[in-house]
Structure 1
């Protein structure tokens, strides 16, 4: 009886909790369906990729390498020439007489100072002439006003 009870319990447990047969059937169905739908597409894609890789390996990569070797050699030569030119310019810059530059700078400063002094002087002269002319005009109008007053007084 205990054995029978154990068997029954095992069978109930298997039916409730053991889903392997159902899952296995579903899994087999899914795999079969997946393989039928895909067909040979994956193999065809792999063959195409293999051909493209071989084409690149045999044609494009050596061609690109050859072109880079050629252009890089050309660029390297141009860089060497540019570096030499830069070195020459730097040497010329270092050889320039800095005393001469300082003398010229001082001369330009003194020329500028003289120019400003002349400008101030000219400005002062113009101001002085303006003041003189303003005084002359003011005196002239004062005289005219005196003459006008004198004429008005003398007329009966």
Structure 2
């Protein structure tokens, strides 16, 4: 009989130990709940962001592209002319610097 009572004691101690110290089932349930909640909330935010991006890209396609095209057609030729003038002035400064001879200037002052 002592074998049976020892088995019962071992089983009961094991059951008490499992209830007190084995948190795996509880933790697994909490982790699964957290993951489920996180994925649902994240999924909703991502869908909302995708719709916002779609709206903005549609708006840009419908209205902004024509504005940019018209603006560039009127502004870019003026910008090209200004850049050409700046390039010419830069070339003049470079040529003047190349032609400058400091020794001859000093000799003329003496």
Aligned to 1:64: 31
Distance in 1, matches of 2:78 and 2:44, equals 49
Aligned to 1:144: none
Deviation sequence 1:50-95 (CA, Å, 0-9, x none): x49x6312x1111111112222221122112111111111211221
Distance in 2, matches of 1:122 and 1:111, equals 18
Distance in 1, matches of 2:31 and 2:23, equals 13
> Which 5+ residue runs of structure 2 have no aligned equivalent?
1-13, 96-107
RMSD: 3.7
What is the TM-score normalised by the length of structure 2?
0.51
Change (3 A) 1:68 1:117: closer
Aligned to 2:40: 73
Distance in 1, matches of 2:71 and 2:29, equals 61
Runs of 4+ in 1 over 3 A off after TM superposition: 116-119, 121-124
Change (3 A) 1:115 1:66: same
> Which 5+ residue runs of structure 1 have no aligned equivalent?
1-46, 128-140, 142-156
Aligned length: 82
Distance in 2, matches of 1:93 and 1:109, equals 21
What is the TM-score normalised by the length of structure 1?
0.39
Aligned to 1:105: 72
